[in-house]
Structure 1
Amino acid sequence: MGLVFTSASLTYAYGQDVKASDKKTRKVPTLRAKVYEQLARAQAAADEDDTAQAIAILDEVEAKKGSMNSYERAMLYNFYGFIYYNAEAYDDALASFAQVVEQQPIPEAFELTTLFTLAQLNLMQGNYGQSIHYLERWEALNTGPVPPKNLIIKAQAYYQSKEYEKAEKYITQAINDHEAQGMIPDENWLILQRAIYYELKQPEKVKAVLVKLVKLFDEPKYWLQLAGMYGELGEERKQLAIMEAAYQQGYVTSSADIFNLAQLYYYHKVPYKGAKLMAQAMKEGLLEENLRNLKFLGQSWILAKEQDKAIPVMRQAAQLSQDGELDAQLAQILLNAERWDEAIAAADSAIQKGDLRNPGLVHLVKGMALYNQKQYANALNQLAEAEKHQKSRAMAQQWKRFVETEKQQQERLSLELSS
């Protein structure tokens, strides 16, 4: 927010009728020529960026302040404040501007502008209570409507003071008043309103503000934040719709957002879109080929019934995994694809790595693959291992009976052929 200064130009103050204000007559002394000349010297030094010289001139003037009237002293301190602010000596600027409004009488327009400057500068310096204090002094002096800019500063000060209900009152009034005049609210006003509603734990209102931000400013971040809010509110279908619209506009570019959209596709039973999105992002280097991403990509291809695409991805993920869980999943996929040797190799890798949620299932898969290779004895050994685990026991026993029957038939056939 830019600081609004009372004019530092002396042409504003010298040689004009300063006895009347916009609202009522206030008798104000005039700025005399000898004071004007000294302040003009300080202004000239300030214009040449000679801050030290400007301050030194003002110090000379201040030494004689006992002989100056209220308006002259106010102009003196206003110049101090202006010069200190430009030198980024903000505490000194604040102290100087505060002195301006303590010199009475001064023109009301001058006082109002300085009070507003004090409210702004105190807000910038984190003096939120003082910012509100000067705004209230401004309101007490002003007789017209309160402009939105004043309400915004008040809302900011209350927000920073964690008085969110008061902040909400002023930000909403500012936005409503602005919109009532047919004007679009400033983007930062809506950002502040959204933050206030978030702190007040009013997600529906946060969402409403984000909808407005999307419509008015169409920034990628607002689309993504709106999608996130729909997710928080449990409106996952709208979340997916907004994310997909954002993606189509080129707004989904970060790895986190790409993964989030892929997850939404997965959970809404459109895994092919999610897998395609992730595969393309990996190809373009937008998504890292790490364990988490490869595992989810593989699972998406599996759910999409794209086994040929799932196998190389799951194999790559399994190679990165310290436990055997992904090797076990890969073994099942390879078994279903009737790639017996590869299924056996993946099962062996799973058994070797260990830390399996269902170790019996791996032995069962290996046994079934061995059976399909007509290695009945080895298959029975694996089925016996599977039988030791409760989760796979029933199926292992069924397969064991089936394989034993097949083994016996094969042995009989071999005897018949050899006799």
Structure 2
Amino acid sequence: MKLTTMTKGLSRFVLRTSVALPLVLAPAVSVTVLEAVGVSAPFAQAEAQSNQETRKVAAMSESVFKKLGAVQEAADAENWNGALQALRDMEAGASKYNAYERAQMYFFYGFVYYSLERYKDAINAYKKVLAQGVENIPVGVELNTLKTIAQLYFVMEDWNLALNYLNQWFSRAESVSATDYAMRGQVYYQAGQLDKALTDINKAVSMYESEGKVPKENWYGLQRYFYFEKNDYKKVTNILEKLVKHYPKGEYYKQLSGMYGELKRDQDQLHMMEAAYVGGALQKEKELLNMAYLFMGNDMPYKGAKVIKKGLDEKKIERTSKNLETLAQAYQMAQELQKAIPALEGAAKLSDKGELYSRLASIYLDLDKNELSVTMGKRALDKGGLKRPDQLYIVLGMAYANQKEYNEALKQLKKALKDERSRKFAEQWIAYVEKEKQREEQLAK
């Protein structure tokens, strides 16, 4: 029999972070819809697989055995229509069969209908197996049939009926595995019974861990989801640490970094996000900028600048005025003014305001590049939109004074007098420039 898997996507949820970029994570549930155990095997084999006490049932006649053999032969060849016809021929004389023989026939009906993806018909057939009376079928077959019906209802997304039959199986089974608890936990989740779902998933995880085995990735994923819904970020963090250890993926590194941010574990947040970056998990612009902001916020601005520069070069970060300004800011914080200038000039060209040119004028003044300071200042005034034009007038006045262009310097400084915030400083510079102008004039005579 072929195994069929069915993937169910849980609702996506956002892991909030203490920085600009929310991280998104989405747990996926993958379950085996029908298990091979007891479904395609003859009843005798299913009984042998059970640890339950054996149940004495009626014998099968040779004629019924041969007819079922024909069904099995057609099924092995995946000739489902042939198998169905053989079963219908059998069913015509079903009144002559004992309960055990009829149960066998309906069992094969269920298997064939399942193989044809006629799930409702498969469920009805398996129910007829149970309807023959549990005293007339082996214990192992009864249990496997209950579980199969539950799984088929899961496929049909009838969660309540799936739980009904699954809980019957749980109440009768002598041995319940971690996988069984995980399966029921997933059904509880789909039925909206989250507390019961969490209990079962926790049971599955603890059973595996107590045996020294690594729980399945999707079990951890469900745990993580449930605890996040409960706002239990410490538990979420603990689970993500296990996921990073046993199933290292970039998404888990990012999510764990976000949880460290929630818990104010700033250094852990930085290190985990850096691990994601080094591993190539950060590819989107917001993720890369978020990495840069984390570096800048943790007194590592040059690393932040390198992240942005690489992102720009690889065209993963758009060359906008804002992004170039951030790059320049990172370089400035790292005392790398020569590298900051090209980035800031690029940002200024793309900006619709003169603010960045005003900053460039100030930087060039500090570097004693007075002509460039004046050039940038003029561009700033041409673009306009300045928050503090008075400060730019002072920068221009100082740059002109350094070039001994005293009249132009005084002209700019007097404009700064109009703003109360700069008046005192402007007056001091005006007094200085006037003295320098007089001194130069006297020397010229």
Q: Which residue of structure 1 aligns with residue 161 of structure 2?
A: 130
1:1-39 Cα offsets, whole Å, 9 max, x none, are 3320354556x237x897997434534334433333333
2:228–2:236 CA contact under 8 A, matched in 1: yes
**Structure of greater relative contact order (alpha carbons < 8 Å, 6+ residues apart):** 2
1:68-125 Cα offsets, whole Å, 9 max, x none, are 4433333333333323333334444344334433432321111211222233333344
Residue type matched to 2:90 in 1? V
Query: Shift in Å at residue 384 of structure 1?
Result: 4.1
Residue type matched to 2:193 in 1? E
Farther off after superposition, 351-360 or 192-201: 351-360
CA distance in 1 between counterparts of 2:385 and 2:114 reads: 66
What SS class does the counterpart of residue 335 from structure 2 fall into? coil
CA distance in 2 between counterparts of 1:44 and 1:191 reads: 42
Q: Which residue of structure 2 aligns with residue 44 of structure 1?
A: 73
1:364–1:396 CA contact under 8 A, matched in 2: no
RMSD (CA atoms):
3.1
1:135–1:150 CA contact under 8 A, matched in 2: no
Query: Shift in Å at residue 268 of structure 1?
Result: 0.6
Q: Which residue of structure 2 aligns with residue 208 of structure 1?
A: 238
Q: Which residue of structure 2 aligns with residue 395 of structure 1?
A: 422
2:414–2:426 CA contact under 8 A, matched in 1: no
1:101–1:111 CA contact under 8 A, matched in 2: yes
CA distance in 2 between counterparts of 1:162 and 1:380 reads: 76
CA distance in 2 between counterparts of 1:201 and 1:93 reads: 42
Residue type matched to 1:346 in 2? M
Number of residue equivalences: 412
Farther off after superposition, 295-304 or 350-359: 350-359
2:414–2:430 CA contact under 8 A, matched in 1: no
1:240-266 Cα offsets, whole Å, 9 max, x none, are 122234445555555444322221110
CA distance in 2 between counterparts of 1:204 and 1:26 reads: 50
Structure 1 residue 87 corresponds to structure 2 residue 108: no
Farther off after superposition, 50-59 or 256-265: 50-59
CA distance in 2 between counterparts of 1:31 and 1:257 reads: 67
Query: Shift in Å at residue 189 of structure 1?
Result: 1.3
CA distance in 1 between counterparts of 2:133 and 2:207 reads: 33
CA distance in 2 between counterparts of 1:303 and 1:17 reads: 72
Structure 1 residue 61 corresponds to structure 2 residue 90: yes
Structure 1 residue 72 corresponds to structure 2 residue 101: yes
2:285–2:317 CA contact under 8 A, matched in 1: yes
Q: Which residue of structure 2 aligns with residue 4 of structure 1?
A: 35
What SS class does the counterpart of residue 201 from structure 1 fall into? coil
Equivalence map 1:372-411=2 (5 Å): 372-389=402-419, 393-407=420-434, 409-411=436-438
Q: Which residue of structure 2 aligns with residue 293 of structure 1?
A: 323
Give the 3 Å change call, closer, same or farther, for CA 24–284 of structure 1 in structure 2: same
Q: Which residue of structure 2 aligns with residue 141 of structure 1?
A: 172
Residue type matched to 2:82 in 1? Q
Structure 1 residue 112 corresponds to structure 2 residue 143: yes
1:184 to 205, 211, 214: 214
Give the 3 Å change call, closer, same or farther, for CA 382–5 of structure 1 in structure 2: same
CA distance in 1 between counterparts of 2:410 and 2:123 reads: 88
Structure 2: runs of 5+ lacking an equivalent: 1-30
The answer to which structure has the higher strand fraction is 2
Give the 3 Å change call, closer, same or farther, for CA 19–397 of structure 1 in structure 2: closer
Give the 3 Å change call, closer, same or farther, for CA 338–87 of structure 1 in structure 2: farther
1:371–1:403 CA contact under 8 A, matched in 2: no
CA distance in 2 between counterparts of 1:80 and 1:327 reads: 81
CA distance in 2 between counterparts of 1:402 and 1:349 reads: 23
CA distance in 1 between counterparts of 2:194 and 2:399 reads: 65
What TM-score do the two structures reach when normalised by structure 1?
Answer: 0.86
Query: Shift in Å at residue 175 of structure 1?
Result: 1.2
What SS class does the counterpart of residue 162 from structure 1 fall into? coil
CA distance in 1 between counterparts of 2:122 and 2:391 reads: 76
What SS class does the counterpart of residue 305 from structure 2 fall into? helix
1:143-198 Cα offsets, whole Å, 9 max, x none, are x3421111101211222333322222111111112222222212221111111111
Query: Shift in Å at residue 66 of structure 1?
Result: 4.0
2:401–2:433 CA contact under 8 A, matched in 1: no
Q: Which residue of structure 2 aligns with residue 154 of structure 1?
A: 184
Structure 1 residue 305 corresponds to structure 2 residue 335: yes
Give the 3 Å change call, closer, same or farther, for CA 291–405 of structure 1 in structure 2: closer
